[in-house]
Structure 1
Amino acid sequence: MKSFKLFCFPFAGGSSEYYRGWFRELNKDVELIPVEIAGRGKRFGEKLQNNLKDMVDDIFLKVKDQISPGDHFGFFGHSMGGLLSYNLALKFQEEQFSFPEKIFISSTAAPDTIRQLKYHTLPEDAFITSIKKMGSLNTEVLDNKDMRDVFIPILRSDFQAVETCKVELGKKVKSAEVHIMYGKQDKFSEEEVLRWQYYFENRISFHAYDGDHFYIEHNLDSITELINKSISVLVK
């Protein structure tokens, strides 16, 4: 039986551990590969990267080494992970490497809509308040001083990478089936999500769910069902 390698990229402040619970939700022919970003999780001792290009260059080397000729593979990214998925697909395209057949982007507005407010420059109290308003999964961590001292530098570094990301409008990913998923009560507008159509040549499917930035927590069954259905046509 053929298998499909699904590389998953974390949200700001997140690690590969977030996706561990997905193993039991995805079909057996889907090989789930959570990707760790430098400075957290299994790579905690490594230097944080506050530049999205540096992140992409780093994970490109790690992902490509896990792909063999003829492999079916794709990307899933939530929030910051969505930007990583898009930029990594561009990197694969520029390097003329094997190309992802499926790209799933979750809770990520189109790159050109990133707002001028720079959360990563805020004083700590204001930064924490802003993160909590997003519906952060990390509320308990943010309320614990010892854990906060470790976690805030990671969050701030990730936000800097996202908020200073420079993406050329009209630089399109040429081939892939693309699914864009978002929460109806997220901080960004539907119009900002729909602008993803300018970043891919193929038709995009948009999927709206009830919930905020972390709508995924209450809709995991629907999301994994979508992934399983999309991938099943390739691995029959």
Structure 2
Amino acid sequence: MDTEQLFLACLPFAGSGAGFFREWKKLDISELTVFPVQLPGREERFLDDPYTDVAEAVAELAPQIASGAGEGTDIALFGHSLGAVLAYEIARELERTGHRLRHLYVSGSPGPHNGRTERATGLPDEEFLAGVQRFAGYRHAAFDDPELVEVLLPVLRADVEMHENYRASSTEPLSVPITALRGEDDELVSREQAGQWSAVTRGPFAYQELPGGHMYLVDQPEQVLRLMAGSPACG
């Protein structure tokens, strides 16, 4: 790996997988090595049981990311919504184990100490999907195909349960710099909520808005990557 590159591990949002971020790899931003993190229950890990607990996910994913980066490599983490809390807890574990964590990018998420009040876990299928659509701010194309819904539902239910039951593992601040990202028209996560991440680090904090709503990153992948490539962590 080029020593000037930053290893960027990307954590998916609920119902998504590494395939979303494999499209980011194709953009070939020279300052970044994009590492799509796969969760069980989807794509090539379809037969594996999905996580329903963040601590369980972190126990597997943190060593996987460290191994993918290799010894002595600068690591950054990016996560959107559910991916943001996964990235945060993985950041805690990487700091604890002495890895070279250089930046945490959290997107479309309130701070980790502010859990959801509205819940979809346990609802009947149609109500559950309607709730997820409302929480996510977009409609997954698979929702219109009954066969795909049947495939997607177990993973989506597990992801939503994991997110809704999540409680931060510690109140001790991180030392890594944090950048909170948000779509400027996001109706699900306010500017104030995104700003809550400033309280969870002793390091520098930055807040950035990009054009779009809650799922701005679907339409702005290159802009998101270039923002991260231009951060002090890559400078």
The alignment status of 1:178 with 2:217, answered yes or no, reads: no
In structure 2, the residue corresponding to 1:50 is in which secondary structure? Answer: coil
The alignment status of 1:57 with 2:59, answered yes or no, reads: yes
Partner of 1:27: 29
Q: CA deviation at 1:116?
A: 2.0
Identity level (%): 20
Partner of 2:204: 203
CA RMSD of the aligned region, Å? 1.7
Q: How far apart are the structure 1 equivalents of 2:143 and 2:22?
A: 22
Q: How far apart are the structure 1 equivalents of 2:178 and 2:163?
A: 21
In structure 2, the residue corresponding to 1:59 is in which secondary structure? Answer: helix
Q: CA deviation at 1:35?
A: 0.7
How many residues were matched structurally? 230
Q: CA deviation at 1:20?
A: 1.4
Q: How far apart are the structure 1 equivalents of 2:150 and 2:228?
A: 36
Partner of 1:84: 86
Structure 2: gaps (5+ residues): none
Within 5 Å, which residues of 2 pair with 1:187-202?
187-202=188-203
In structure 2, the residue corresponding to 1:83 is in which secondary structure? Answer: helix
Q: How far apart are the structure 2 equivalents of 1:188 and 1:200?
A: 20
Question: Is the 8 Å Cα contact of residues 79 and 107 (structure 2) preserved in structure 1?
Answer: yes
Partner of 1:4: 6
Greater displacement, 165-174 / 152-161: 165-174
Greater displacement, 64-73 / 4-13: 64-73
Within 5 Å, which residues of 2 pair with 1:100-115?
100-115=101-116
Question: Is the 8 Å Cα contact of residues 186 and 211 (structure 1) preserved in structure 2?
Answer: no
Partner of 1:162: 163
In structure 2, the residue corresponding to 1:111 is in which secondary structure? Answer: coil
Q: CA deviation at 1:29?
A: 4.0
Task: Give the 4+ runs in structure 1 shifted more than 6 A.
Answer: none
Greater displacement, 217-226 / 82-91: 217-226
Q: How far apart are the structure 1 equivalents of 2:104 and 2:116?
A: 24
Question: Is the 8 Å Cα contact of residues 107 and 182 (structure 2) preserved in structure 1?
Answer: yes
In structure 2, the residue corresponding to 1:113 is in which secondary structure? Answer: coil
In structure 1, the residue corresponding to 2:7 is in which secondary structure? Answer: strand
TM-score (norm 2): 0.91
